[in-house]
Structure 1
Amino acid sequence: MNGDIQFDNINFAYPARPDVLVLRNLTLTARPGEITALVGSNGSGKSTCFSLLLRFYEPLSGGITINDRSITDYNLKQLRQKIGVVSQEPILFATSIYENIRFGKENATRIEIEEAARQANAHDFIMKLPNKYDTVVGEHGVLLSGGEKQRVCLARALVKQPVVLLLDEATSALDKASEKVVQEALDRACRTTIVIAHRFATIQNAHQIYVLHNGCVIEQGTHEILISKERSQYWKIMKEQQREQLENDIEEAATLTQYEDDDQKQTSERSRHYSHNELDDGNKYTAFAVSGSKLTERICSKAFAHYLRQEMAFFDLVENSSGAICNRLSSNALAIQQMVGSRLGIVFESIAMFGVGQRVALIGASGCGKSTVIQLLERFYDPMQGRISLDGVDIRELNMQWLRSCLGLVSQEPVLFDLTIAENIAYGIENTSIEDIIDAAIKANIHDFIQQLPQGYETKVGMKGSHLSGGEKQRIALARVLLRRPTILLLDEATSAMDSYNEQ
């Protein structure tokens, strides 16, 4: 298999929505050694192409071939072994970074794993962690930032050296520097790569670009050819991105100019404190590592003692077998150690004031602590020192339920339940009218899409929203937050999977 892929007149509808054709007479080609990009608005069918290639579903008509051979003729396990996938929502397991990467290739050597991490620009941040590749990432990778999770998942896909690499918004949470390094590694790989992306930097070097709309290919060609066609769909997408980038650059330049003078005045004063703070930080990390180890031991001992006090019937359950309990104790111990050990030593030395009605942006490289600020504000954790105040009151003194009712959070990975769209939007709010639900959906720019579905707001989204695209899930999650009318809105890469139009 050399990765010569052909989609020929594909028609497809999801089993849950058989009346809605997601792909209509779709034809496209991906050549070996080339990067093929799929571009289009949310729900245009881009991710569905990946699902069909991986044989999660079968097309209603038409065929998909690799090397002129139908994919149905390949052994399913062997087919998927030749394909590497990095999806919109990175999936990690509650084990070490090393083991998470090794899931891509069970017999991978240490050298192969580290090389894959370098290609994914993950090696440097991994080596800065206390336990390096043996660092446990927690359940669903909770101890890593969104960008770090994406890079570990990319390394897992690269370690098996796949013939075909599928990237579904795989760099949406990366900063520009990381994305550039990853993109250069992919360009050198000379494998069949199919990319779904909205970012200009991700698709401009593609050998072939297909623009999808309502499940059909409406434009195709290289970046140079498509951008030269004024008023084309691709031209509009790129111009919108360039306009947004220009506005961001102007705003950033104005902000830097405003604070430049203040920064110069404060530099000499801050420098006098640095050497003292560095010494304190070294002592803090050591102290938290030791205390974290002791706390982990105490918690595990109490958990074990609790198991010993259970009735005999408790141990008859499959999920409470001796092996399951031992595994639970060991994995939880590692997770706790990572949460309370030296990893917890992220210290915010600055003070920020966020005023009423302001829109505040946190920017920085992956892993610099942006998501951690939101976690502290939500009181998932408490700071080691310093305080966070709301209206002048330390949030630790506030009722936690009341505090969280004032906050609306849309995270990098939207959480949806196997319910209808209306029930997902109204989740957690009692006695909500359909008018309020529709109003929130309109504000999140998802109402028109919902109206096109046969069952409208009564459409089931599937487990974790599996029947929806990444952008559609993000907009439903945003509608759910807007329905609550929170005092404070927290958006953690909440529009990373949206096209430029929906993001605006």
Structure 2
Amino acid sequence: MHDSVLRCTMEDEVECVRKRESCDQSEESISKERSPVSIFSLFRYATTFERVMLIIGLLCASIVGLSSPITMLIFREIINNITPSTFSFSVIKRYLFFYVILAEVLFILCVTQVGFVSISAKRQARRIRSLFFKAINRQDVAWHDENAAGSLLSKLTDNIFNIEQGMGTKLGEFIQHMTGFLGATAMLPLVVAGFSSFGMLGKTFMKREMEAYSKASGIAGEVLSSIRTVMAFGGEKREVKRYVAELSSVESVGIKKALAFGGASGLIASSIYLSAALVFWYGVTLMLDGLDPGAVVTVFTCIILGSIFMGSAFMTFPNILHALAAAQDVYGTIERIPEIDKDRGGLRLPNFTGNISFQNVDFVYPTRPEVTVLKNFSLQLKSGQTIALVGPSGSGKSTVVQLIQRFYDPAAGKVLIEGVELPLLDLIHFRSMIGCVQQEPVLFDGTIFDNIRMGKLDATPEEIIEAAKLANAHDFICTLPEGYETRIGEAGGGLSGGQKQRIAIARAIVRQPRLLLLDEATSSLDTRSERVVQEALERAAFGRTVLIVAHRLTTVRHADLIMVLSEGEIREVGTHEQLMKANGLYAAMVQSQAGDQAEGGTKGPNIPDGLGYTEHNSYRVEYSQVKKRVPNMEEDVAASDTSSIVAKEDNAAGLLSSGISKKWSNNPTLRLIKMNRPEAVFLTLGFLFSILSSLTFPVFAILYSEVYDIITKPLEESSMKARIAVISASMAGVGLAQLLIGLGQGYFFGVAGERLIKRIRALLFESILQQEVAWFDSREHQPGYLTALLATEATKVSKFTGARLSSMLEAILIITISLAIALFYNWQVTLVMLSFFPMLAVGNALQTKMFGLTKDTFQDSKAIQIAQEAIKGNRTVTSFALEDFYNNRFMESSRSYFRQQFNQAMIQAILYAFSLTIATFSICATFGLGAYLIDQKKTDVLSLFRAFLVINFASQAIGRLGFTASDAKQVTEAVEKILHIVDRVPRIMVNAGDIPLSPFKGRVQFRRLHFRYPTRPEVKILTSFSHDIEKGKKVALVGQSGCGKSTLLQLVQRFYEPDDHGPNSGIFFDGMDIRDLAPCWIRQQIAIVSQEPTLFNTSIRENIAYGDNTRIVSMDEIIEAARTANIHEFIMSLPEGYETLAGEGGSQLSGGQKQRIAIARALIRRPVLLLLDEATSALDTENERLVQEALDAAMENRTSIVVAHRLTTVENTDEIVVIENGRKIECGSPDELLAAKGSFYALHHAEAR
């Protein structure tokens, strides 16, 4: 007996599992509550080593922060010895020596601070990222139904990047500055209140902002994963509008956040100035009572230092708030225990033979609880038995397959496996004994060998080859130049539908499962392949329990039991013979399919390539017929439309042409500023507020210098008190002004910054959608990478907008104004201070360069590609228990990404320490020279003091700019990445080309077509293919999977360009070479129903209306199209009718339902040319007949190209073209080809058998 049941009986084990299940459910309900993350719980996943590193780093940061208040003790002694009555140059030199020692100690502490904190944060971020990815894989299918893949990828990149920033160097800098502030100001109550309000508001708004963008990211991921559908229906502008609509909510939250931050910043600065005024008044009063001047000046200088430290802390605090807000969502997912938990363990069946029982099962999908899918459903599947489920689309057949794999739990009733309730079993172990082939197979980026091996990770090469042979895939694999090592691209994009299905079958067969689930396993195969694969599946089914879901009833004739489902209930049960004798629903379905078979005709010729070929001039038209030329993207467009996205979302699609003119500078920073030009008014007002803010510092410094004037010039007590009152009141006035300035800066820069981020994201998204299909085929431009690019790069750009831009401008203005004042008072001391500035600049520049070498962009790594395919293919990953496989791949990729950063982090720490200690040396040099000049009677103490104060403000401002060195590099790199895509001129530009003056009549000509996919140039797909399709004719393309049929449809839509570019080769519409025509016009003439239809996570109404994005489609048209496609009745049976959400990729609908909606979508377009790529492959017999009639009606009076494996669906066409290995080998009418008894005849009779 198995280990899990050695120590107890089966009944005891079941009872143990039940108790644990109950306990886990209780824990799960608690884990759903996502409590806010505190600064301490942010580090909950840190190891002891990382905690020790962090503590040491933060301790060093605290000491560095306290170093400035400590220097004030030295400063006090210098002040006491620099007054005219107590001046001593030798004493001053002794105290300056202490400054030198302090600078050397600071260097060591800074290196330790930055190095330890940074490495600790990177290690934790790597672990959190892996835990988050593992948690995503752990969640049940229902959770994935509610969480879009694009949104999850955004969190995996953007949120964890924010966590790393908040727990790393930014936290160290914040602790350093806050420690300095607290040491200097001793916790001024007003400041504490301001900072507390800032923290609470910031956390709230950042959480809202991330939640808002999560929706936009979900749209981006969905659109980029369905790019062919978007292009085919001209939906680029529509999708940009949909994306921008979600960005608007992000913008609104962002502006409110900026206003709140600005107000909090002004409150903090105001409280500091008001406190300084109070200290000044009270300090001088105490001095009159005998307190030494040095003490008063020291306390007052601490107030100034406190304001500087607070400003620096304010710059880093948002990073911590971002980290806390991001962690709340990420940590909540990590700690969430799913309702169906594959990691919960459970009973391992010692002898699973395939006995499965459904007992009175009711089921509703969690996302549609109002629709009952299965009603009182019962099923007994015995060991070694083959049972087939047949019935109309949407009757619940595929739902049964999902319930067996426990993707969901029933609402009522039980599913028993070997007499044990399914929830009590170890899910991973149970699924390892199941092989499943889905209706729409999901393959992963990698080699063919790797994809088959995913069925059994320890399979030998011999087992994999044998499985491929059984699935009839071996021969076509061997024809590829790299054989089993051929990479197939994301989701199997490099293969035809039939080839993908055969690889999926091989993946299931190699598993050697005890239970085989076949959900339309042969629906995408041609007749010959289907027959061979069906025989292979029958051999694979020997000795196994098999459940078949099928529409083609010929594939289930030999099943031991056939169950007919309708509306979630079993209507008939029996063998094929029994059900035929009963003459019920099943018999009607069989007779309907059999009635579609037809034979007859006369022999048609075997037409060679190029038969009937005429010279190019005989069918090419003169371009005097051309109506207009669509503007090329490279042409300059008036920049005045740049702000269209802000003023009117309906104009969002105009961003690409109007956003950035080619005549603008290639400098990324300059282009970033010019992209913000529509907000010039807001930027100007924000800039004016920054000028006012920057003036407060030198004004305050001059007021501050009056302290020294008072203590060195004896005045009468009455006049001194009057002067103190005036100066204190002036300081308080500066403080109140700073509060208003903070609000103004926050709002105006917030509006400018948020609109810029919105514009950049929309511009980037639109630019991506303008690229040609081949660009998306490359591994560098997979949806996961592009979605992450949209999420993170614009966020990095925001570091040069809003509060950050305000702070930088202030720093620059403070430096400029302070230097001007300092030069006026004491040019010698000022020049000495300035001599240190180049060293600061070099240090900051080296920091920036090192940051560029760090490769701190996670989405560049391979790990994001792994995450993207695992999350999007979650059902397949779950079905084949590949969670651990993907978790390990992801961790390994993350590990290599982390190793790249370690050495650069330490070098960056050294450069940071260098920049910081230079400031200390500059103070030492300044007072050294000042004391010498006083000793030589070349300056006075007051001039020195004023110059020193304002220069100190300037040096601190330079230090603040230094803190943004890494941010500046991030922004530059982000802008460069964005502009790299924005500036790229697509090889096939959707809006560039000619638009004919006269309407397209429907004549299509293929001339000597040669084609290879750009990602697989070694594989020839089409070889000298030629054929003419006359106006209004219905032409069918038939042949085995992978022969090039679907490729021709993609070339007709101008997704790719043929290899030959000569005047006598290509594709011609009414005699016009489509390479000269605008792709947008070409696609407007065409509608396509694909083999694997893609729907969007919008309402059914919107999905149907998507067929024509050039106009507003009326509800009457939508209903009429739905009726024609035989989907109206089903839609009306849903509680929300046409407003029902289809789910991501149409996940809330069955395959047949999706296909019928796709047909309705095509009918809305009223195309001149109709392309049908296996348009009825997913339909049951009755619906296929009805929809085929609809399609036959739709094809009337329009040119149609039909790709089909079921030859019965093409017998009403005017002409059939048989393709083999990319060549036309036979063509003629159905009757002619049947009479010819050639290739088509062989295919036809193979299907009939």
1:240 equivalent in structure 2: 592
Mapped to 1, the partners of 2:467 and 2:1076 lie a distance apart of 46
CA displacement at 1:432 relative to structure 2? 2.0
Is 1:71 matched up with 2:746?
no
CA displacement at 1:346 relative to structure 2? 2.5
Mapped to 2, the partners of 1:473 and 1:397 lie a distance apart of 35
Mapped to 2, the partners of 1:438 and 1:196 lie a distance apart of 30
2:1066 equivalent in structure 1: 387
Is contact 2:610–2:1026 with CA below 8 Å preserved after alignment?
A: no
Instruction: Say which is worse superposed, 467-476 or 13-22, in terms of deviation.
Output: 13-22
Quick check: which has more Rg, 1 or 2? 2
2:1101 equivalent in structure 1: 422
Aligned partner of residue 351 in structure 1, secondary structure: strand
TM-score relative to the length of structure 2: 0.35
AA matched with 2:1087: G
1:96 equivalent in structure 2: 447
1:401 equivalent in structure 2: 1080
Is 1:377 matched up with 2:917?
no
Q: Tell me which of 352, 361, 365 is aligned to 2:1027.
A: 352
1:287 equivalent in structure 2: none
Mapped to 2, the partners of 1:224 and 1:363 lie a distance apart of 33
2:27 equivalent in structure 1: none
Mapped to 2, the partners of 1:467 and 1:325 lie a distance apart of 26
Aligned partner of residue 349 in structure 1, secondary structure: strand
CA displacement at 1:340 relative to structure 2? 4.2
Is 1:259 matched up with 2:935?
no
Mapped to 2, the partners of 1:26 and 1:420 lie a distance apart of 29
1:125–1:313 Cα change, 3 Å: same
Q: Tell me which of 396, 399, 409 is aligned to 1:48.
A: 399
TM-score relative to the length of structure 1: 0.84
Aligned partner of residue 22 in structure 1, secondary structure: strand
Aligned partner of residue 352 in structure 1, secondary structure: strand
CA displacement at 1:371 relative to structure 2? 0.7
Q: Which digits, 9 at most, give the CA deviation of each residue in 1:268-313, with x for residues without a partner?
A: 999xxxxxxxxxxxxxxxxxxxxxxxxx9xx999xxxxx9x99959
Runs of 4 or more, structure 1, over 4 Å off, are 266-270, 309-315, 321-327
Q: Which digits, 9 at most, give the CA deviation of each residue in 1:175-224, with x for residues without a partner?
A: 22222222222222321111111113211111110000111111011111
Mapped to 2, the partners of 1:310 and 1:470 lie a distance apart of 52
CA displacement at 1:339 relative to structure 2? 2.5
1:215–1:132 Cα change, 3 Å: same
Is contact 2:357–2:381 with CA below 8 Å preserved after alignment?
A: yes
2:434 equivalent in structure 1: 83
Is contact 1:314–1:320 with CA below 8 Å preserved after alignment?
A: no
1:383–1:452 Cα change, 3 Å: same
CA displacement at 1:123 relative to structure 2? 0.8
Correspondence 1:16-35 to 2 at 5 A? 16-35=367-386
Q: Tell me which of 458, 479, 483 is aligned to 2:1160.
A: 479
Mapped to 2, the partners of 1:58 and 1:45 lie a distance apart of 14
Bigger fraction of residues in helix: 2
Q: Tell me which of 1104, 1119, 1134 is aligned to 1:438.
A: 1119
Q: Which digits, 9 at most, give the CA deviation of each residue in 1:429-457, with x for residues without a partner?
A: 24222122112111211111100000000
Correspondence 1:52-451 to 2 at 5 A? 52-189=403-540, 190=542, 191-230=544-583, 232-246=584-598, 250=599, 253-254=600-601, 257=602, 259-260=604-605, 263=606, 312=852, 315-321=855-861, 339-343=1015-1019, 345-385=1020-1060, 386-427=1065-1106, 429=1109, 430-451=1111-1132
Is contact 1:220–1:226 with CA below 8 Å preserved after alignment?
A: yes
AA matched with 1:320: D
Mapped to 2, the partners of 1:482 and 1:495 lie a distance apart of 14
1:12–1:313 Cα change, 3 Å: farther
Q: Which digits, 9 at most, give the CA deviation of each residue in 1:105-145, with x for residues without a partner?
A: 11111011111111111111111111100011112111111
Is contact 2:394–2:1149 with CA below 8 Å preserved after alignment?
A: yes
AA matched with 2:1018: S
CA displacement at 1:31 relative to structure 2? 2.0
Is contact 1:135–1:338 with CA below 8 Å preserved after alignment?
A: no
Question: What 5-or-longer segments of structure 2 have no aligned partner?
Answer: 1-351, 612-774, 781-792, 794-848, 867-892, 894-1011, 1186-1249
Mapped to 2, the partners of 1:337 and 1:199 lie a distance apart of 32
Correspondence 1:459-474 to 2 at 5 A? 459-474=1140-1155
Instruction: Say which is worse superposed, 178-187 or 219-228, in terms of deviation.
Output: 178-187
Aligned partner of residue 366 in structure 1, secondary structure: coil
Q: Which digits, 9 at most, give the CA deviation of each residue in 1:230-289, with x for residues without a partner?
A: 2x000000000000123xxx2xx32xx2524xx4xx67999xxxxxxxxxxxxxxxxxxx
Percent identity over paired residues: 47
Instruction: Say which is worse superposed, 101-110 or 182-191, in terms of deviation.
Output: 182-191
Q: Which digits, 9 at most, give the CA deviation of each residue in 1:305-345, with x for residues without a partner?
A: xx9x9995994443234865998xxxxxxxx99724221x2
AA matched with 2:500: K
1:15–1:314 Cα change, 3 Å: farther
Aligned-CA RMSD value: 2.8
Question: What 5-or-longer segments of structure 1 have no aligned partner?
Answer: 271-295, 302-306, 328-335
Is contact 2:1088–2:1172 with CA below 8 Å preserved after alignment?
A: yes
Is contact 2:610–2:1025 with CA below 8 Å preserved after alignment?
A: no
Mapped to 2, the partners of 1:76 and 1:322 lie a distance apart of 29
Q: Which digits, 9 at most, give the CA deviation of each residue in 1:79-122, with x for residues without a partner?
A: 21111111111101121100111111111110111111111111
Aligned partner of residue 589 in structure 2, secondary structure: helix
CA displacement at 1:398 relative to structure 2? 0.6
Is contact 1:169–1:195 with CA below 8 Å preserved after alignment?
A: yes
1:369–1:224 Cα change, 3 Å: same
Mapped to 2, the partners of 1:84 and 1:411 lie a distance apart of 27
Q: Which digits, 9 at most, give the CA deviation of each residue in 1:50-105, with x for residues without a partner?
A: 11111111111111111111111111111211111111111011211001111111
Is contact 2:609–2:1025 with CA below 8 Å preserved after alignment?
A: no
2:357 equivalent in structure 1: 6
Mapped to 2, the partners of 1:394 and 1:51 lie a distance apart of 48
Q: Which digits, 9 at most, give the CA deviation of each residue in 1:129-186, with x for residues without a partner?
A: 1110001111211111111000001111111111111111110111222222222222
Mapped to 1, the partners of 2:1153 and 2:395 lie a distance apart of 11
